[in-house]
Structure 1
Amino acid sequence: MEAFVLFTNQTQGRDRLFRAAQYACMLLGHVLERRAGPGAARAALRQLEASMSSGRKLFRLGNMVHAIVAARQTIQLPDPIPRICLTASNLTRALYFICDTVLWLKSVGLLPHIYKWKWRSWATKCYYYSLLMNLTRDLYEISWLLEQAAEKEKAKENSFPWDTQDQDLICLETERRSQPFLLLLCCTLKKHPPLLLDTAKNLCDLSSPLDRLGIYKTNPGIIGLCGLLSSLVGILTIARPHLKLK
């Protein structure tokens, strides 16, 4: 109970809970629609989904400043690839939050004359580019870890006393060296849970902007499922900070 209170006292924690509820409503609404469920239940789920979305916009007010501060920090990273990717990601996130704030002001009637669909398109593009930069950083980290693993394997091979081993050990070593790339990738990610979770989260988050921008059309069920999985990963990384990619 104490852990739950500590989690919900955080703005990001409440946002993740609202986000999980929003995408769960989207997923359930799609399932009911496919199975011709009660119309009243589908309408209630759509209303609840809209309420969760509006609530999340309130929690995100001010996140633009956090994104700019994060960009100032990441621009000082020594490695050029993470520096470029993370700085670009934070700057596009800041632009996304600006568009999101304008959309919220439109929804509450403070900016009634703006063109909603134009701002929503800009917000989606900024979110999409931010995710691409995050995924590029993840792929760079994965490739670096695979390179390190390959170098360790090569060092083991060079130090392996072949002349003193029997035939069975030679066969086992040959089989180990011929393991497929995917197996090596899985073993590498298994040893680095924060990188695995961050990659999975970014991949899941891509479904929504890809659909909105018309790059890869899908359905609300897939978007709801991916959004729910991403939200659960976000909840896990907030509840267990050591699982968050640093």
Structure 2
Amino acid sequence: MKSKDLTKKIITFSGQTAGRDKFYRTCQYGSKLLWWCLEQGSGDPDLIRKVKALEKTIGTSRKLFRFGKSFDAITAAMKTIHLPDVFLSFTITLAKLNQSVYLLIDHTLWAHRIGLVEVDSKRLSNLSTRFWLATLILNLSRDLYELSNVLNDAMALYAKRVGGGGIGNHYTSNGEDGRDSQHLSTNNNSSQLDFVILCLQQNMPVVLDLVKNTADIFLPLSSLGYLPIPVGVQGLCGLISSLVGLSTVWESTLKIQP
């Protein structure tokens, strides 16, 4: 990439609210992982205190940056409810509605943290985390459903090719929800594993979304006490999901649709 194109890309990225949020989230969980590593290595207590303060400050700032996004989620849900695929319509729409409630509670917690309102922050935080968990479960269900459809179609086509069905030199997968066609180039010497890998490569948005949601789901599970996950692992999971999120904002073709 030329320096001029890279500069333009950076300006475009930084000009997006989603881009800035993903960047700050990466810093937040990176800080969490850093101070945990410093504690394990008997690092400077003053430095650890500063990194912890940085993580907390970024977390509070992100709540402000997300202000109003709950209404965006509701608007998105009104669109996805009309998807022709019933399962996708159900999971995506319900995920958006859960996300809107989670963000709305998050807005209230931010107002409480800066002293605008007085609420039971522990109870609301627990409720918000439950809605976040429900959102992630629905998103994972959608990812697995889409991935299984892609793999099933690919394997059926591979079996047909091996059986001499004469499918030509490419594979096209058309989603029932009207998204653009995706093409998988094949050749007569490719093995079944090669074909699966090629299939996954041509459906990276689904794969990346699955990785992001899988990494994220450990965070609410830990916060709610369902899984005893160390702070360092939480930081690592959050960092992984944040980096994936960064990549989908940086390169829009990697973002799952709709």
CA deviation vs aligned residue, 1:44-82 (integer Å, no higher than 9, x gap): 001000110011001110001100001001001000011
- For residue 129 of structure 2, what is the amino acid of its counterpart? T
Counterpart in the other structure of 1:74: 80
SS at match of 1:206: helix
**Distance between the aligned counterparts of 2:159 and 2:102, measured in 1?**
45
2:229 match: 218
Which residue in 2 is equivalent to 1:134?
139
Structure 1 vs Structure 2 CA RMSD: 1.9
For residue 87 of structure 1, what is the amino acid of its counterpart?
Answer: T
3-state SS of 1:210 partner: helix
Which amino acid counterpart does residue 221 of structure 1 have in structure 2?
G
52, 57, 60: which one pairs with 1:54?
Answer: 60
TM-score (norm 1): 0.88
Aligned partner of 1:117 among 106, 122, 127: 122
Amino acid in the other structure paired with 1:32: L
**Is 1:235 equivalent to 2:241 in the alignment?**
no
Unaligned ranges ≥5, structure 2: 1-6, 167-187
CA distance in 2, matches of 1:176, 1:230: 32
Q: Please say if 1:10 is aligned against 2:16.
A: yes
Structure of greater relative contact order (alpha carbons < 8 Å, 6+ residues apart): 1
TM, length-normalised to structure 2:
0.85
Q: Tell me the secondary structure at the aligned position of residue 163 of structure 2.
A: helix
Write the letter of the residue equivalent to 1:33.
Answer: E
The structure whose residues are more often helix, as a share, is 1
Aligned to 2:164: 159
Deviations 1:181-218 (A, max 9, x none): xx765443222111111111111111210101112111
Give the ranges of 4+ consecutive aligned residues of structure 1 lying more than 3 Å apart after TM superposition.
Answer: 183-187
Conserved 8 A contact 2:74-2:96: yes
Indicate conservation of the 8 Å contact 2:158/2:195, yes or no. Answer: no
1:12-38 deviations in Å (ceiling 9; x for gaps)? 111111100000000000000111111
In the alignment, structure 1 residue 202 sits paired with structure 2 residue 213? yes
- What letter corresponds to residue 238 of structure 1 in structure 2? V
Structure 1 unmatched runs, 5+: 162-172
Residue identity in the other structure for 1:195: V
Q: 1:19 is matched with which residue: 4, 21, 25?
A: 25
The one-letter code sitting in structure 1 at the alignment partner of 2:239 is L
Which structure 2 residues correspond to residues 154-193 of structure 1 after superposition, within 5 A? 154-159=159-164, 176=191, 186-193=197-204
Per-residue CA deviations over 1:154-207 (Å, capped at 9, x if unaligned) read 21232179xxxxxxxxxxx9x946x6xxx7654432221111111111111112
Q: Cα deviations across residues 109-131 of structure 1 (Å, max 9, x unaligned)?
A: 1112x111100001100000000
Task: For 2:107 and 2:80, locate their aligned partners in 1 and report how far apart those are by CA, in whole Å.
Answer: 24
Q: Tell me the residue number matched to 1:144.
A: 149
Distance 2:197 2:33 in 1: 29
